[in-house]
Every structure is written in structure tokens, then in C-alpha cells.
Amino acid sequence: MRISVSLALAVFLQSAVLFAQEEEKRWAAWQLYWENDEFVAGSGTDEYYTNGLRFSWVRNPNTVSNPEWTTNFVDHWCKSRITRRLCLDVPVDVGYGHAFGQNFYTPDDITDPNPQPDDRPWAGYLYYSWLLQATHHTTQPVQNLFEAQVGLVGPWSGGEFIQREWHGLEFIDAPEPRGWDNQLENEPTANLFYLWRKKLGSTSFDIVPHAGGTLGTVMTSANLGATIRLGRNISSFPQLLITPSNAGTQNFPKKIEYYMFVAADGRAVGHNIFLDGSLFRDGPEIDIDKETFVYDLKAGLAWRYKAWRIDYSFVRRSEEFASPLGRDDRTHDFGSITFSYQLWRPSM
């Protein structure tokens, strides 16, 4: 059991490589995204948002037809009187894909088996997503991203199993989590996500402002921010699952790409199930004052060789609730690692 998590991750990565090799014509890209507070030295271990794992893949629109509704939806979005300003009057590439993932959250003290109503509740989250990205390729490209997500919160999400297995590894110096009996109850979830962003700059320096929002039973919020990047041969949006161009207007990346980046994202939060508790079911008592405005500050590095890419990010998240625990610093640090594969050919 101690090696089951490591073995599962190894099998997962090997399967992703085979997926890329055998399905290159059918799938344009895949991405494995992993967030964990163990990826930041000195951040402490397993408090608040402690782990997130997500695997995404996108169809190749040049060899496999996307569902008809995807192009109809983008066409309607870009012609509507309300949303047409979010698009450009140039040909658009439509990418369609899927994702599945798992997150889990804990209070500050994971060794306490008793209810902790004045701290973040224990919660696991398992979900599946449909992804749609519409990219307008110009010297200042614009992208609209959409995601429809269904899932469940509660014991059936497997958060307790993953955390216990991870902590069972010999190289993880972490205490046993003992409070999972107090987690949020099983509940189905549904959420919609939207993000707009625009790339301003060159292949060596750019600024990518973004804005968006979420609506659903898991999270309801609005966000605004930007990313600044400095490097060589910057070819796409940050952490983008690139799709080959239907219109033939996309500049394909050179063999090597690398850059450093800093980013900021501010969010106005109306509802967060991982702080407010369930909308439809009774659960553990929660007695915390949620912050309406929160922010993330991010810095990191990205490197790509041909089709393969790796990103590392350090994230500092502001206080999400006013805790009476007496902590001097209630910000939370965690890191993320992203492995990606995308169809590639040299620039012409």
C-alpha cells in the first residue's frame, strides 16, 4: 500500500506517453497538472488547499470532426450583441476536449480527529469536464475558454484514500490525517467556467491580461488578472493546450521555448462550497467568516522541447477566511507542476 500512489502515478505517466504516441492524429494535446503544498519548501504540509490533480486532452480538429454544437456555440458567442466584443473579426480555431481531476482540502491541524468548526472543513472533490477553447490568431491573439464541470463532493470523491496513501510513502514526512470523519457529505455538483485572455507583446516578452468567472454549486465568483512573461520563442498562451490551426494562420513554435513568468489573479467570491459548506445537504458545523475578495500571486518557469513541455509555478494565496486560530500569517503557499504534450512541427 505504501507504494501504490507512486505506482499509480508512474502508470499514469506511461499511459500518457503511449496516448500521445498512438493517438497523435486523433488528439492534439494532453496535459497533466498537479498542485501540492509539498512542492514548496518550508510551506508546511497539508493545510487548507493541499492537493489537486487534473488530466486534460484536446481533439485534433484537422483529423477528427468536433461535435457540431461546438462551432455553433462559438459562432453564436462571437455574433451575439452582448459577447461579440470578446472576439475578433478573424478566423477562429475551435478546440474541444475533456478533463478529469480531483482536489482535496483540510484544516490547519490534520492530526485532530474532532470537529473543527472554526477552521476550513475537510472536503474531497472529484469531477469531469467538457472543454471548449476558441482562439483568434492575429499579432495580438484573443482566446475564449469555456468549461462545463460535473462531479461530486464527499467521501465518494476519494480524498481520504489519496491523502492517506500519499502520507504512507516513506519519503513523505507528514503526520497521519485523522479528521476525515468530519468531511463534507456526498453531494453531486455542477459548475460553469469562463475565461477571456489576450496576448500582447512579442516572442520574447508579453503581457496576457485575463478576466472570467464561475457559476455553480461548487464556486460562484468573478476574477481579473494578468501574466507577464520574459523568455525565448514564446509561442502561445500560458498553460495552453494548443490545437493545430484550422485556418492555417497559427505560427507553429520553434524547437526550444523557455520563459519565466509572474502573475496575479484577484477573485470576488460569492459562494465556495469548501468554505460555506453544502447547499443541499446537512454536514459538519462551519463557523468561519469567509473573505469576499482573495488573490493569488504566482511566479515560475516554463520549458519546452519540440512537443514536450514542463512548467513549475509557486503560488501564494491570500487569506480565504478569518480564522480565530491565532496564526500570524494566514496566507497559504503551494506549488504546481505541469507536464504537457502537443502536436508540433518546425516554423515555416
Task: Determine the distance from the C-alpha atom of residue 294 to the mean position of all C-alpha atoms in its chain, rounded to a whole number.
Answer: 17
* Integer Cα distance of 66 and 241 in angstroms: 16
- Residue whose C-alpha cell is 464556486: 219
Summarised one tens digit per residue, pLDDT across range 60-118 is 766 667 889 999 999 999 999 999 999 999 888 888 999 999 999 988 888 888 988 88
- Domain boundaries defined on the chain: 4-342
pLDDT at 146 over 80: yes
The per-residue pLDDT for range 217-230, each reduced to its tens digit, is: 999 999 999 999 99
Please count the other Cβ atoms lying within 10 Å of the Cβ belonging to residue 86.
18
Do residues 16 and 145 make contact, with C-beta atoms less than 8 angstroms apart?
A: no
The CATH architecture annotation of domain 4-342 reads Beta Barrel (2.40)
User: Tens digit of pLDDT for each residue in 121-138?
Assistant: 999 999 999 999 999 988
Give 244-289 pLDDT, tens digit per residue.
444 333 455 788 999 999 999 999 999 999 999 888 777 788 888 8
Longest dimension (CA), the chain: 63
